[in-house]
Amino acid sequence: MTILKAEGPHVWDGEGRRLIDFSSQMVNTNIGHSHPKVIAAIQDQAARIATIAPAHVNDARSEAARLVTDLAPGDLNHVFFTNGGADAVEHAIRMARLHTGRHKVLSAYRSYHGGTDLAVNVTGDARRFDADRSAAGVVRFMPPYPYRSYFHAEDEQQETERALEHLEQVIQLEGAQNIAALILESVPGTAGIYVPPAGYMAGVRELTRKYGVMFIADEVMVGFGRTGEWFAVDHWDVEPDLMTFAKGVNSGYVPLGGVAISDAVYGTFAERVYQGGLTYSGHPLACAAAVATINAMKDEGMVDNAARVGREVIGPRLRDIKDRHPSVGDVRGLGAFWAVELVRDRTTKEPLAAYGGSSPEMNELIGECKRLGLLPFANYNRIHVAPPLNTPDEVLREGLDILEQALEVADRHAAG
């Protein structure tokens, strides 16, 4: 699709049609398109210092680091800036390995951590298959997924208990002394928006502490307000050892990612060189955009708004939609981050597209959304509702109306 114009919560396609952006592109334009304060900050920075080597101090990077560490949980007081989320994951794991002297990494099935070599190897969904290699030292575990429980749980409490019991068994059977890190998306994103059941994240934190495993929270997609807290781990008061971020840190206006680092991990490198340079680490244009984005989010109350629309607009409407449409098997989410899971049969839960692929029915549904004026985020058998955090309520409602009408296409392929 060609995009001719992008402004606020809207994009205009190659034929000049205006669509509501429920994708936030790659779930990164958290403040919407063309925010004037961020555009001005990038222009101003470009006129002063457009680029500089990472060894040199620049005020945009210093201020961005101050803002990020002020917001980050616990003692994540230091930031290593990267070009995006995937290389943030690579560096977080490298730091954990050097800090612990261990090699293995635990990650969850039904996760996505990026497209570079190690990042795609810790990924737990089908997008890793073409690059999968066992030498990466990655061991995967089953995540909680109450709608299709791997643990035959009958409620969320059981799901949490059994998922944590399974995780502890994996740690023990793999040998904790060999495990450097556990990496987990705080709310798994593209892989399906699986909001962890109550107690799970705290349990993961407890287990990783018990066995001396670094807990890396991957906040690339959910960081910076997406779920209605600055970071999704804040919902559960969890303090990771390392935290990756990207996307929402500057709404994607200029590529930027990073690793927020705890005092303990930082201490490992107090007297030891960290090998891992990036020409564009802390790029001034990207960091100026981050400073302006974070300040705009604060000034305009965007994080609180994301929480409110999840509670009052998106969540209630999606639950109504589920009640009315037989093709909707499950809806779940937080803040401005929701999944609509589509099935052919609610009883068997047969997905409308097979795991790892698409289907003519899903393509028909996506096409209908676009035809009616909605740009959705779609993956496998799911439509994700992930609009900019400052999308006006009336635009959200218009988008949800479109989604509901488009679902009539999916309903024709669903039993009941």
Partner 1 sequence: MTIQPVTPDPAITEDLIAEGRKAFDLDRAHVFHSWSAQQKITR
Select from 236, 269, 345, 404 the one that contacts partner 1 (CB under 8 A).
269
Q: Which two tokens stand for residue 189?
A: 């994103």
> For partner 1, which stretch binds (CB under 8 A), given 8-16, 121-129, 261-269, 345-353?
261-269
Angle of helix 284-299 versus helix 36-48 axis, rounded to 10: 150
Closest distance of CB 106 from partner 1, Å: 24
Select from 24, 25, 28, 58 the one that contacts partner 1 (CB under 8 A).
58
Identity of the residue, 239 or 364, whose beta carbon is nearer to partner 1 in the bound complex = 239
Question: Cβ atoms within 10 A of the Cβ of 411, count?
Answer: 15
> For partner 1, which stretch binds (CB under 8 A), given 161-169, 216-224, 278-286, 358-366?
278-286
> For partner 1, which stretch binds (CB under 8 A), given 205-213, 269-277, 298-306, 346-354?
269-277
Question: Cβ atoms within 10 A of the Cβ of 18, count?
Answer: 13
Task: Decide: helix, strand or coil at residue 328.
Answer: strand
Q: In the chain, what is the straight-line distance between the N-terminal and C-terminal CA atoms, in Å?
A: 34
Angle of helix 315-324 versus helix 393-411 axis, rounded to 10: 20
Number of residues that bind partner 1 (CB under 8 A): 32
Closest distance of CB 294 from partner 1, Å: 14
Q: Which two tokens stand for residue 94?
A: 């490298």
Contact yes or no for 276/87 (Cβ under 8 A):
no
Identity of the residue, 19 or 93, whose beta carbon is nearer to partner 1 in the bound complex = 93
Closest CA to 104 of 79, 129, 136, 80: 136
Closest distance of CB 266 from partner 1, Å: 7
Select from 79, 294, 352, 407 the one that contacts partner 1 (CB under 8 A).
79
β partners of residue 343: 351
Phi/psi region, residue 244 (left: phi>0; alpha: psi -120 to 50; beta: rest), is: beta
Select from 18, 66, 133, 148 the one that contacts partner 1 (CB under 8 A).
66
* Main-chain dihedrals φ then ψ at residue 138, nearest 5 degrees: -100, 135
**283 interacts with partner 1 by CB under 8 A:** no
> For partner 1, which stretch binds (CB under 8 A), given 187-195, 272-280, 288-296, 403-411?
272-280
**99 interacts with partner 1 by CB under 8 A:** no
> For partner 1, which stretch binds (CB under 8 A), given 32-40, 54-62, 127-135, 243-251?
54-62
**261 interacts with partner 1 by CB under 8 A:** yes
**69 interacts with partner 1 by CB under 8 A:** yes
Contact yes or no for 100/91 (Cβ under 8 A):
no
- Neighbour-count burial for 190-203, b at 16+ CB within 10 Å, e otherwise: bbbbbbbbebbbeb
Site for partner 1, rule CB under 8 A: 54-55, 57-59, 61-63, 65-66, 68-69, 77-81, 259, 261, 266, 269-278, 281-282
